[in-house]
Amino acid sequence: MEELIRKIMAISRIMGAKNFGFFKDKGYKPIGIGQIAILRMVLDDPGLVADDIRKALELDKATVAIAIKHLMIAGLIRREVDEDDHRKKRLYATDKLNAASLEIENEIRSQIKKITYGFSERDIEEFGQYLDRIRENMSREI
């Protein structure tokens, strides 16, 4: 069990370092792997709110708020007050993020190719199912 945890942590560190390096090399303020998930959500669903992100990624409010703040400082997302409900702050990609979105998507696809190199389609499907089970298990109270 301990060896499995070490392997998972090593993979997480490698992916984080690659993402950090990618953004740094492109001249962007380096962001973490969790922030990339938020960027993808904002690109895929313009106008979502922080609570949508919190629920989808199973994070606490403070973590999401800090991540959004960093992404706003980096100039990648912007926040607008909802016209119908002034309590809601909707999130949108900035021109800077829109311009970089194809590069980001290509980098993500490149990493997925590396991760799944040598795996059959069936292996990849099973791997996805295992990840789904792991996520479910992590959400359970034991």
Q: What's the CATH number where 24 sits?
A: 1.10.10.10
The pTM for the full model equals 0.75
pLDDT confidence bin for 131, thresholds 50/70/90? confident
Residue 134 CA to residue 98 CA, distance in Å, equals 32
So what's the pLDDT on residue 98?
92
> What's the CA angle centered on 67, arms 63 and 83, to 5 degrees?
100
Label residue 42 exposed, middle or buried (CB < 10 Å: 0-12, 13-18, 19+). buried
Label residue 57 exposed, middle or buried (CB < 10 Å: 0-12, 13-18, 19+). middle
**121 is in which domain, residue-wise?**
2-139
Judged by average pLDDT, the poorest of 84-93, 115-124, 128-137 is 128-137
- What's the domain count of the chain? 1
